[in-house]
Structure 1
Amino acid sequence: MGPGGTCWRGAGVTGGVRRWLSSAAPLPRLCVVGSGPAGFYTAQHILKHHGGAHVDIYEKLPVPFGLVRFGVAPDHPEVKSYGAEDNRVLGIPGENLSGVYSARAFVGWYNGLPENRDLKPDLSCETALILGHGNVALDIARILLSPLHLLRQTDITEGSLAALACSKVKRVWLVGRRGPLQVAFTIKELREMINLPGTRPVLNPADFTGLENAVKDAPRPRKRLTELMIKTALEKREEKAVEVQAGAPREWGLKFQRSPQAVLPAADGRRARGVRLALTRLEGSGDSAKAVPTGDVEELECGLVLSSIGYRSLPLDPTVPFDTQRGVIPNSSGRVEGVPGLYCSGWVKRGPTGVIITTMNDSFDTAQSVLEDLQAGVLDVATSREGFGAVESILHSRGVRPVSFSDWEKIDAAEVARGKAAGKPREKIVDPQEMLRLIGH
């Protein structure tokens, strides 16, 4: 699985620590595949509640922590928690034009994910359009518009910082199919975007007409979020004329009830020059409201298009069941359907939703299933189950030398030292081969 989804095979675990320590039963060994938040939280819960369990965590990269390391925003290290190995495609003409990128690839680029290190996004245009109204979309907008002196204090990669220093982008539109009451970002991220130095929000008061009454009985987070958008739209309208005259350097705005129909090519037929959007009306209300095209369209000029409409997990192996429609492994409280002893957690378990606290609780839920199954005696914990000993033999026979945690500590120390020299928390190494050379592989 990717960093956002974890699969593991267990000789499970139990909450009854004394029972295990006082009996002659073999001690269970578990294998966790994926060292992101889902994997670590699951391992943590198991080790906390079972004194004899042995957990081995496997990761495909030479560095651990998945999207805690490669998370959405380098200036938000406390909330990094987005994973899944693929992104949803738009399914519209022109999405393969130069200048069109998935949010996942763009985020991976500025966070030093090795597979995205050569993305080289074209930032030579003035206007960028982000499709999506979630926290990932706001994070990308903030990175595109943040003053460089703020970004220099983060662990954003050196190459990304250099590219952003030359960026011509000064206007970012965030476009969503539905309305203000359906946005998926949270108030903290919105407030930070509103207060971003040297940048002004552009919200149209007409988009919020009558919404004060509509949210009176809404849950408090939705009510406060909507009220902040309304307040910003009304306040900033008064300031707009003054700011335009003063030449405010950068701006961003929210556009509602617009669905992408096509990315429009420039004269050369290779680059994006804009997006054609279908105007929509809402059927239903609240989170279940659906966007239906009205038949009207509009074009929005932009040279950079970022698709932030969601992530999806990929199938792990033909022997592991997978629901391609939902992008999840069919499971019951983390127990993989039809495969006893196999469990899943994270986005591959429930789909690409939620933040770090969601992943934590979800992982604890799966870990509890493992604990219960072991206590019930339904898992094979025979001593013949060697765990990493058997895996190590297979790797050795294939000439593969795994990276150990002490190896990672050498990489970590090198990154921190490089970062210190540049006045940053760390300077990530983005080339896996360089990581391996560093540890003598």
Structure 2
Amino acid sequence: MLRVAVIGSGPSGVYTAQSLVDQTSVPGVRVHVLDRLPCPYGLVRYGVAPDHEKIKSLQGSLRAVLEHERIGFLGNVPVGPGGVAPPRLLELYHAVVYCVGAARDRRLGIPGEDLAGSCSATDFVSWYSAHPDAAAFDFPLDGPSAVVIGVGNVAVDVARILARGPDELRPTDVPRGVLEALAGSGVREVHVVGRRGPSQARFTTKELRELGALPSARIDVEPADLALDPAYADPSGLPAVNRRNVEVVRAWAAAPAGPPGAVRSVRLRFFLRPVEILGEAGRVAAVRFERTVPDGAGGVRGTGAYEDVAARLVLRAVGYRGAPPDGLPFDPARGTVPHAAGRVLRDGVPSAGEYVAGWIKRGPSGVIGTNRPCAKETAASLLADAPLLARRAVADDPVGALRAWGLRPVEWPGWLSIEEAEAALGRALGRGSVKIADWPGLLAAADAHR
């Protein structure tokens, strides 16, 4: 028997576990999927916007994997500080696969970025997704204007949530406190700003079109911004996604989307680079942008012309970056763990029993489905090493050992108990299932099955 620990229960971790138990070359592989949180599914639970029900339905396929007879879920098991040290995991498992994602957001690196009201879009997503670490977050929603810096899908997600009315979010699983805060929001204008043009924006066309379908917000674009993009007039030579994005923006320029008399607006701005966040009494008052123009080599250059956009809330959505996993080598330039086909490299040499998959392996790139081939590659490397790995003696009862070390693993019945508690909370509020958004509530719900 080969016993494997997979650290992280998001798509990359679940697909790795699936790849290990589905193969036939090493029969009897058993996998524990460990997660710091008491709930599984990673960013599918805590990163997908609550109004994206189709994507959130992926939890069903992840659930089917985690219910496999040779896979066990162990939540509430932090690896690293405050939890189990990575070397101790190798006392319990023949191999450990780290699927810990890219935990940090990129910063802008401009003056004023640390003013109150200047926030990470990652934190905002965690807040409206009921991540228990975000329970105490407080975002200034007194309005009337918010700025989202970035033109990728995360930027579009947070702009869409800010522009939605509370009645539009009530049917979702958004937590009660978040719904109440958004219902009292004074934000009426959301600026989504990128330093390059619409032909280079990184959002997908489906996400972009969703902005134009908001029932209570209109979409505004600036013709002067669009005219700076060399591909705007004729996007036929662009890759398919970029071409479709430009076509959507062109349609909005010709006939702005949104209902008559909309109470909110989303303004898409291009060729503006943030250079400073301006403050007043210690909090955000505006963002200063420099006008950019194409440099002829695929990038942009500054023009020395500036524009200030008033805002009480600024959300940066300019990408993610891996954080150094405790006890593992780390390449700070790439934000990844050095590896060879998923095998962790220490000073260029494969480290016996240690592997990586997902964003911490390849960087924050691709979509959810990209994790499948990535996981399969790592699983194949691990299984090729199985004859050597299986020679090492490990503990007979990993769960018992974790408990003896002072941890309180939440096993699958505990997670099902959390699900039941969230469904009951929703019924009490006259809604569907509503997420529990704090650590004490989640752990109490997990213990209720005992």
- What range is the shorter-chain TM-score in? 0.7 to 0.9
Residue 110 of structure 1 deviates from its aligned partner by 0.6
Q: Deviations over 1:226-264 (max 9, x none)?
A: 11111111122xx89xx8xx6431111211111111110
- State the one-letter code of the partner of 2:110: I
Q: 1:334 aligned to 2:368?
A: no
Q: 1:54 aligned to 2:30?
A: yes
Please show how residues 348-359 of structure 1 align to structure 2 within 5 Å.
348-359=360-371
Residue 424 of structure 1 deviates from its aligned partner by 3.5
Residue 215 of structure 1 deviates from its aligned partner by 2.5
Please show how residues 24-423 of structure 1 align to structure 2 within 5 Å.
27-50=1-24, 51-79=27-55, 84-209=102-227, 211=231, 214-236=234-256, 247-266=261-280, 268=281, 270-284=282-296, 289-318=298-327, 320-337=328-345, 338=349, 339-374=351-386, 377=387, 379-382=388-391, 384-386=393-395, 389-390=397-398, 392-393=400-401, 395-423=402-430
- State the one-letter code of the partner of 1:124: D
Moved more, 98-107 or 420-429: 420-429
* Residue 6 (structure 1) aligns with: none
* Residue 20 (structure 1) aligns with: none
Aligned partners of 1:214, 1:370: CA distance in 2, in Å?
Answer: 49
Assess if the C-alpha contact under 8 Å between 2:141 and 2:313 holds in 1: yes
- State the one-letter code of the partner of 1:397: A
Counterpart secondary structure, 1:427: coil
Residue 307 of structure 1 deviates from its aligned partner by 0.6
TM-score normalized by the length of structure 1: 0.85
Aligned partners of 2:37, 2:154: CA distance in 1, in Å?
Answer: 23
Assess if the C-alpha contact under 8 Å between 1:72 and 1:136 holds in 2: no
Assess if the C-alpha contact under 8 Å between 2:147 and 2:314 holds in 1: yes
Counterpart secondary structure, 1:216: helix
Assess if the C-alpha contact under 8 Å between 2:198 and 2:245 holds in 1: no
Aligned identity (percent) is: 40
- State the one-letter code of the partner of 1:150: E
Aligned partners of 1:168, 1:159: CA distance in 2, in Å?
Answer: 16
Q: Deviations over 1:353-375 (max 9, x none)?
A: 2221122332233223323443x
Assess if the C-alpha contact under 8 Å between 1:35 and 1:58 holds in 2: yes
Aligned partners of 2:339, 2:300: CA distance in 1, in Å?
Answer: 30
Structure 1 residues 219 and 372: CA distance shift in structure 2, 3 A: farther
Counterpart secondary structure, 2:277: strand
Assess if the C-alpha contact under 8 Å between 2:425 and 2:433 holds in 1: yes
- State the one-letter code of the partner of 2:109: G
Aligned partners of 2:29, 2:296: CA distance in 1, in Å?
Answer: 50
Aligned partners of 1:385, 1:78: CA distance in 2, in Å?
Answer: 41
Residue 310 of structure 1 deviates from its aligned partner by 1.1
Moved more, 192-201 or 326-335: 326-335
Structure 1 residues 38 and 357: CA distance shift in structure 2, 3 A: same
- State the one-letter code of the partner of 1:120: D
Assess if the C-alpha contact under 8 Å between 2:101 and 2:360 holds in 1: no
Aligned partners of 1:314, 1:68: CA distance in 2, in Å?
Answer: 20
- State the one-letter code of the partner of 1:235: A
Moved more, 104-113 or 43-52: 43-52
TM-score normalized by the length of structure 2: 0.83
Residue 345 of structure 1 deviates from its aligned partner by 1.3
Aligned partners of 1:219, 1:400: CA distance in 2, in Å?
Answer: 50
Residue 96 of structure 1 deviates from its aligned partner by 1.3
Structure 1 residues 172 and 57: CA distance shift in structure 2, 3 A: same
Please tell me the root mean square deviation across aligned C-alpha atoms, in Å: 2.2
Assess if the C-alpha contact under 8 Å between 1:79 and 1:355 holds in 2: no
Query: What are structure 2's unaligned runs of at least 5 residues?
Result: 59-99
